[in-house]
């Protein structure tokens, strides 16, 4: 099952979740109606009162809906909102202790290896048990939280196994489903909490009103039904996903001992949380976050630890001889498409493999990620940890390093809008980045994102505008400059417009986005080919991979396109269903791979496309050699 199939399955689970939620509401309404009959002391033989039933149904449904909508609104910030509710503390690299720095390093390696932006990392300082979670609407706004016990009691391999498990939830589309589950179930839990509030109110004011006491107790009992239904729903949705995440973690790291060792330590030390918010988020965690006893087998959100350990031990992969050699040699084999360079002796990468690599992580990708972090100059490594220095690094990526006159104009403009200290940092970082392989540029953007997202929405928007200004001063827009703007805006969008991450898919038919697909494929064909016949052949190779192609209007040649049009089309394609995104990425891959050669420009544009579509792609797409500031045949507008 590939990334897109997992996304589609999560989408189907959401529909099932809504059905189960409706059944729970029906059960709650029936229970409240019966309780109301007894409360009003209506004769048992007259059990059917249509007006009363409609009133109970209306009031109960509205109360549940309002509570759910309120919770969903509170969660618009994505994973960070869940982490803060659980008492999480945002982990900052520049003040991290050794345990915390190790955790941050693992998360950074995992993010680079899987092709997503580095998530926020939170530590639950008051929780000494071993547990962790991932939360968010998309891979672009994910947050990872770990308990202090998880961070301090596990060795590096075990901690990497746990983080690999959580990254599987990020890549498999589980997070959006889990957040929706939190929002919907809050409406059911609201009745139980209301009953508790009424009883406490009566006790505090020493009220003798027995009717108020009976009503509060009835709400608690009915809310208990909702609590029971909610736990059943969470168990039904999350149990099988936990087995999949365990298997994916082993596949990512090729080390079953790591995650199995973490589970064995949980058997001895426990994974329960003390936070009152653990009930609502229990299905998100690595292990059972609730202390269950009698109902444990029925209501636990996770499979029994013994079953998970047994399955993981059965997946005890051993690194192959090839993988051992790969780790001991250069990271070159993990970079780019096979066939890009004569020095590459690997098998050619097919378009089908490009699609299958989305959402997949292999050990060689970790090798590459570790190599990137190890090869970064110390000044860059430290700069990525600080907000102002991270801004300077991003600005330096927009400088023209091949034309000193253009760069001088850019720096002169930057001095007019930014402090002198920031401009000097930009110049220093620019000199260092110019000496590095160009394949490091996009990973640098992703590594800078956590520090940049600590800024206000207005500041993040200002950063994007400043990059745009630097590029405008530089003259004609290059493909790299377009990619930089596109990726930077997409990565910072959850901070600038938090509601954008929660948008649901809007397009299920290829007809609705046909013109957008044609424009993007036209751009890829023009970027990768120079001869008119070759451009047309590449374009049509991609078009014929789209679904229902025979029912749509097919241009004979690629259409005229510009960077503004590409950006607009990608914004629409981002809202396509997982099945349509699969077709789009497949068509793009066939356009790129039509001649079994991938230019650096094709590689960069392809990565920008899949990033914008929220389709995480490992770094095998990173170009080996990129001509700096290279221009493309896509028109500027």
Reduce the DSSP state of residue 120 to 3 states and report it.
Answer: strand
To the nearest 10°, report the CA torsion of 573, 576, 588, 346: 120
Tell me, what DSSP letter sits at residue 347? P
φ/ψ of 123, rounded to 5, equals -115, 130
> Half-sphere exposure of residue 222, counting CA atoms within 13 Å on the CB side?
27
Residues 71, 450, 625, CA angle at the centre, nearest 5°?
130
**Residue 562 bridge partners (DSSP):** 635
Number of residues that this document lists for the chain: 637
φ/ψ of 24, rounded to 5, equals -65, -40
Contact between 299 and 231 under an 8 Å Cβ cutoff? The reply is yes
Measured between alpha carbons, how far is 69 from 284 in angstroms, rounded to an integer?
A: 20
φ/ψ of 629, rounded to 5, equals 60, 25
> Half-sphere exposure of residue 604, counting CA atoms within 13 Å on the CB side?
29
φ/ψ of 89, rounded to 5, equals -115, 125
Name the active-site residue from 108, 109, 166, 604.
166
Is 166 labeled as catalytic in the residue annotation? yes
Burial class from Cβ neighbours inside 10 Å (0-12, 13-18, 19+) for residue 321 reads exposed
Measured between alpha carbons, how far is 528 from 126 in angstroms, rounded to an integer?
A: 54
**Residue 507 bridge partners (DSSP):** 576
Measured between alpha carbons, how far is 398 from 430 in angstroms, rounded to an integer?
A: 9
**Helix H or strand E segment including 124:** strand 120-124
Measured between alpha carbons, how far is 111 from 361 in angstroms, rounded to an integer?
A: 10
For residue 172 the two structure tokens come to 């498999």
Which residue is it, tokens 């789009």? 584
CA 217 to chain centre: 41
- Active-site positions read 166
């Amino acid at each position: 099952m590939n990334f897109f199939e997992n996304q589609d399955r999560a989408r189907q689970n959401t529909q099932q979740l809504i059905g189960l939620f409706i059944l729970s509401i029906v059960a709650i309404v029936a229970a409240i109606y019966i309780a109301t009959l007894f409360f009003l002391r209506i004769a048992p033989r007259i059990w059917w009162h249509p007006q009363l039933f409609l009133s109970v149904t209306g009031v109960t449904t509205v109360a549940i809906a309002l509570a759910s909508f309120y919770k969903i609104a509170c969660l618009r910030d994505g994973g960070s909102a869940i982490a803060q509710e659980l008492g999480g503390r945002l982990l900052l690299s520049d003040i991290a202790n050794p345990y915390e720095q190790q955790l941050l390093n693992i998360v950074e390696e995992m993010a680079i290896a899987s092709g997503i932006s580095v998530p926020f990392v939170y530590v639950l300082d008051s929780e000494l048990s071993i547990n962790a979670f991932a939360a968010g609407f998309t891979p672009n706004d994910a947050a990872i939280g770990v308990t202090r016990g998880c961070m301090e009691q596990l060795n590096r391999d075990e901690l990497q196994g746990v983080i690999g498990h959580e990254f599987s939830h990020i890549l498999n589309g589980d997070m959006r489903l889990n957040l929706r589950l939190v929002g919907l179930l809050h409406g059911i839990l609201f009745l139980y909490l209301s009953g508790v509030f009424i009883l406490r109110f009566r006790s505090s004011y020493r009220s003798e009103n027995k009717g108020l006491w009976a009503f509060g107790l009835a709400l608690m009992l009915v809310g208990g039904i909702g609590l029971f239904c909610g736990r059943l729903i969470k168990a039904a949705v999350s149990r099988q996903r936990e087995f999949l995440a365990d298997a994916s973690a082993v596949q990512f790291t090729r080390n079953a001992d790591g995650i199995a060792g973490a589970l064995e330590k949980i058997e001895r030390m426990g994974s329960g949380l003390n936070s009152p918010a653990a009930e609502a988020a229990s299905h998100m965690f690595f292990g059972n976050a609730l202390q269950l006893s009698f109902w444990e087998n029925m209501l636990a959100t996770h499979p029994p630890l013994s079953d998970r350990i047994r399955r993981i031990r059965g997946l005890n992969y051993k690194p192959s001889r090839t993988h051992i050699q790969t780790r001991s040699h250069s990271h070159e084999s993990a970079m780019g498409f096979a066939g890009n360079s004569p020095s590459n002796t690997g098998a050619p990468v097919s378009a089908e493999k490009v699609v299958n690599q989305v959402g997949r992580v292999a050990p060689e990708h970790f090798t590459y990620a570790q190599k990137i972090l190890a090869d970064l100059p110390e000044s860059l490594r430290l700069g990525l940890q600080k907000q102002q220095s991270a801004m300077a690094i991003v600005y330096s990526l927009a400088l023209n390093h091949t034309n000193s006159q253009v760069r001088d104009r850019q720096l002169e403009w930057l001095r007019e809008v930014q402090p002198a200290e920031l401009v000097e940092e930009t110049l220093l970082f620019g000199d260092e980045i110019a000496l590095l392989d160009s394949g490091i540029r996009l990973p640098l953007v992703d590594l800078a994102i956590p520090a940049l997202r600590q800024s206000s929405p207005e500041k993040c928007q200002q950063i994007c505008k400043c990059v745009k200004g630097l590029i405008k001063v530089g003259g004609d827009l290059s493909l790299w400059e377009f990619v930089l703007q596109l990726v930077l805006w997409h990565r910072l969008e959850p901070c600038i417009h938090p509601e954008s991450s929660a948008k649901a898919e809007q397009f299920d038919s290829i007809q609705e986005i046909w013109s957008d697909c044609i424009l993007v494929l036209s751009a890829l064909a023009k970027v990768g080919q120079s001869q008119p016949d070759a451009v047309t052949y590449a374009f049509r190779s991609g078009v014929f991979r789209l679904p229902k192609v025979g029912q749509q209007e097919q241009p004979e040649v690629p259409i005229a396109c510009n960077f503004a049009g590409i950006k607009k089309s990608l914004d629409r394609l981002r809202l396509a269903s997982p099945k349509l995104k699969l077709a789009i990425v497949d068509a793009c891959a066939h356009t790129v791979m039509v001649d079994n050669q991938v230019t650096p420009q094709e590689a960069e544009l392809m990565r920008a496309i899949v990033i914008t579509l929220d389709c995480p792609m490992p770094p095998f797409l990173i170009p080996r050699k990129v001509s700096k500031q290279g221009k493309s045949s896509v028109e500027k507008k």
